[in-house]
Amino acid sequence: MRGRMLKTERHNATLILTLDRADKRNALHPGLIAALRAALAQADRDASLAAVVLTGAGPSFCAGLDLSHLLSLDADDQIAYMRAFFGLFQLLYTLQQPVIAAVNGPAMAGGFDLAAACDIRWCAPQAKFAQTEVLLGIGRADGPDRREGRSQVRRAPSGALPRQQRSTDG
């Protein structure tokens, strides 16, 4: 486990959160989930933020849960891990700012769910989506239909997205 798993940058009124575990395809380790939850909670309290962008380092957006770590845990710790993961969705659903998933590559399993929980998904040409857990008979973790009154698509204020996140492909 690396010490820092989440990179945070602020560009004007936009907070960019980068899952920074490229060597593990940005798998959601409990430490990364905790860092994401803390960053989102802080963003929710910051009225000067207009939008939050969530992306992945390297060629992947997110591979979902860190299965090698999950399998190393006892049953109680596995349950705590899953509760923390599902708690992340509640923060995304209730955040006062729109959350934009800048999907830069594969979004698999829980990574698919993470992107789906965001208000807007902005996808690079190499973005791929898969719900691999259905092969095991497990349904998706959660999804946009659970938003209870929150708009499916929200417009970010003009100029809220930093230039390096904008596509030049039209």
The region, left, alpha or beta by phi > 0 then psi within -120 to 50, assigned to residue 12 is left
Is residue 148 part of the annotated active site? The answer reads no
- Among residues 62, 133, 141, 160, the one annotated as catalytic is 133
Q: Long-range contact list for 65-71, CB < 8 A, 24+ apart?
A: 65/27, 65/28, 65/109, 65/110, 66/24, 66/27, 66/28, 66/29, 66/30, 66/32, 67/27, 69/1, 69/27, 69/29, 69/30
- State the catalytic residues: 133
